[in-house]
């Protein structure tokens, strides 16, 4: 099972910042936090990831608490096209050869005008 | 422009038929993955591969099998399709630790 907890749904007004929280209290020191989103059952789209520092790219910002037990994805100016299911994922080590992402239920973000 | 391709996009097939879902990527990624997703539900990892001739089963038990003979191809096969196999199958690839996954558009399978 995914080791993250997210609210099942959130609403946001168009043009406002959307702040999506995620708890990952059992995260270990070498595990990254990844954020993906999925629109209309299309293939998930990578948004951003981080280890312990805050990260920003052209899509979003990722704020990770100092103890790394939680994080927040920020969409600075939400648009209607940002309506999607957002997944917060902690990479799970499968074996020495590498890791695999384990998805949870995610947060359904609804952006309205 | 997609760098990972899945075919077919939609497939309706009768019970008992053998099917192969294709997944190809042009990015030279060593790591590839198959996920299964029922409508409105989360993705479940069913198979993954870390390179040629390497395949592992994922967290969700699946009657499907996979092969990895070439880096760019990671086909998934169902020897005898059943209605319980009706689902969406998503393929992904990754360059490795610390990198994101690139997903294909998925194959929506319906077994009647």
**B19-22 contacts, C-beta under 8 A, 24 or more apart:** B19/B77, B19/B78, B19/B81, B19/B109, B20/B75, B20/B76, B20/B77, B20/B78, B21/B75, B21/B76, B21/B77, B21/B89, B21/B91, B21/B107, B21/B109, B22/B73, B22/B75
Q: Which two tokens stand for residue A89?
A: 């994922």
Q: Quick check: helix, strand or coil at residue B68? A: coil
By C-alpha distance, the chain A residue nearest B94 is A100
pLDDT in tens, A45-72: 999 999 888 999 999 999 999 999 999 9
Chain B hits for A43, CB-CB cut-off 8 Å, are: 90, 92, 103-106
Task: Give yes or no for a contact between A69 and A22, defined as CB atoms under 8 angstroms apart.
Answer: no
Residue among A95, A97, A100 minimizing CB distance to B33: A100
pLDDT, average across residues B14-36: 95
Residue among A45, A94, A104 minimizing CB distance to B42: A104
By C-alpha distance, the chain B residue nearest A33 is B98
What value does the CA radius of gyration of chain B take, rounded to a whole number of Å?
13
pLDDT for B88 beyond 70 = yes
Q: How many CA atoms lie within 13 A of A29 on its CB side?
A: 0
pLDDT for A76 beyond 70 = yes
Q: Across all residues in chain B, what is the average pLDDT?
A: 92
pLDDT number for residue B76: 97
Chain B hits for A103, CB-CB cut-off 8 Å, are: 35, 42-45
pLDDT, average across residues A20-44: 89
The confidence band for B71, taking pLDDT boundaries of 50, 70 and 90, is: very high
CB of A99 less than 8 A from some CB of B = yes
Task: Give yes or no for a contact between A93 and A101, defined as CB atoms under 8 angstroms apart.
Answer: no
pLDDT for A95 beyond 80 = no
pLDDT number for residue A1: 47
Chain B hits for A104, CB-CB cut-off 8 Å, are: 42
Distances (CA, A) of B100 to A16, A84, A100, A106: 27, 18, 11, 17
Q: What is the rounded distance in angstroms from the CA atom of residue A6 to the CA atom of residue A9?
A: 9
pLDDT number for residue B96: 74
Task: Give yes or no for a contact between B104 and B92, defined as CB atoms under 8 angstroms apart.
Answer: yes
């Amino acid at each position: 099972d995914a080791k993250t907890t997210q609210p099942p749904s959130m609403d946001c007004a168009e043009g406002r910042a959307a702040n999506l929280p995620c708890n990952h209290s059992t995260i270990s020191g070498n595990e990254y936090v990844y954020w993906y989103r999925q629109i209309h059952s299309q293939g998930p789209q990578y948004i951003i990831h981080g280890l312990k520092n805050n990260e920003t790219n052209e899509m979003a910002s990722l704020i990770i608490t100092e103890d790394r037990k939680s994080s927040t994805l920020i969409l600075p100016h939400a648009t209607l096209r940002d309506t999607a299911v957002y997944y917060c994922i902690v990479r799970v080590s499968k074996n020495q050869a590498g890791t695999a992402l384990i998805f949870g239920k995610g947060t359904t973000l609804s952006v309205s005008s | 422009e997609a760098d990972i391709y899945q075919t077919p996009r939609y497939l309706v097939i009768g019970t008992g038929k053998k099917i192969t879902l294709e997944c190809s990527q042009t990015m030279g990624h060593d790591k590839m993955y198959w996920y299964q997703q029922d409508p409105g539900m989360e993705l479940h990892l069913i198979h993954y591969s870390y390179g040629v001739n390497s395949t592992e089963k994922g967290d969700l038990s699946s009657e499907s099998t996979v092969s990895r003979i070439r880096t760019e191809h990671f086909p998934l096969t169902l020897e005898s399709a059943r209605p319980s196999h009706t689902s969406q199958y998503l393929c992904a690839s990754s360059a490795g630790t610390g990198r994101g996954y690139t997903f294909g558009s998925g194959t929506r399978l319906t077994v009647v």
